[in-house]
Amino acid sequence: KWRLISSWLQLLICHSNLCGMPLLNTKIVGGQTATPGSWPWQASLQSSGRHFCGGSLINNQWVLTAAHCFSSIHPNLVVVLGLQNLQGSNPNSVSLTVSQITVHPNYSSSTNDNDLCLLKLSSTVTFTSFIQPICLAAPASTFYTGTTSWVTGWGTTRSISNTLQEVSIPVVGNRQCNCDNGLGTITNNMICAGLSAGGKDSCQGDSGGAMVSKQAGRWIQSGIVSFGTGCAQPNFPGVYTRVSQYQTWINSMISTNQPGFIPFCSSGTDSDLSFTCPGLPAPTTSTSAPCTNYYNFHYIL
């Protein structure tokens, strides 16, 4: 039994050993300029030479982004990787065309549910210090209220930022987020983050980019920038597509060299379960399997 478990875990690690470990990372509204190479999975989606959305590189030929980024047609679509500045010199960047756009079949533009899309690049990309894939949160991952997260992009600060920005924001539990954004707006396919005082958030132009958290030396993508009420408004957390809900669908679309899915496990208990507001149903008792960080568990064996 233990040999089978060990073999399975080793296979898991083989598929994920390249993701989420930027070589140049030492560590948006209210954010700061990112150091070149800090977020090497960051992609810029550009149409006719203009940035319109972000995305994240998840292996050497696929980019994960938001479905709402493709609510209209984008001529001359390219994905730019290794990019730091939207204008000027970018010696570490690579531009690739897209051979396939796949919006999640259950995406709803009216509710923003299932807001994700996969882009297949026309050719594989060579990894460098400035171009690396991100790990994805596996099913049963837990991101409790307060989990430190980072969002990156070229979105609106006062205008579209020319230089890649980064901002750190904490996760806000789904029950609280439902109360803040209006009961019924937040589904289990979403995850929220932001400050109750406002001032830090993703914004227009950041859509499709990754929200990530660090665990045991690896960065894991928890969310995809999806929607919000304004930007950085007090008591209106930003809303992200919850990546851990979609391993089955993503792997059904990517038949070879599948992305690295790693469980992210918050410590302690979920304080959001005690959060309530008028009209919010009582929390249900979870019967799902407990979150286990199998990646670390392998080394314990």
Active site annotation includes 201: no
Of 44, 56, 113, 115, the active-site residue reads 115
Q: What is the DSSP string of 122-160?
A: SS----BTTB-PPEEEPTT-B--TT-EEEEEES-BSSSB
CA geometry: angle 69, 51, 192, nearest 5 deg: 50
Rounded Cα gap, residues 24 and 41, in angstroms: 12
Rounded Cα gap, residues 149 and 171, in angstroms: 7
Of 207, 213, 222, 226, the active-site residue reads 207
Rounded Cα gap, residues 82 and 92, in angstroms: 5
Cα 149 to the chain's mean position, in Å? 10
The pair of three-digit structure tokens given for residue 183, joined into one six-digit string: 């009961």
Rounded Cα gap, residues 121 and 148, in angstroms: 31
Of 38, 56, 68, 272, the active-site residue reads 68
Task: Give kind and range of the element (H or E) at residue 251.
Answer: helix 247-253
Q: Is 191 helix (H, G, I), strand (E, B) or coil?
A: strand
Active site annotation includes 68: yes
Rounded Cα gap, residues 69 and 24, in angstroms: 29
Q: Which residues are catalytic?
A: 68, 115, 207
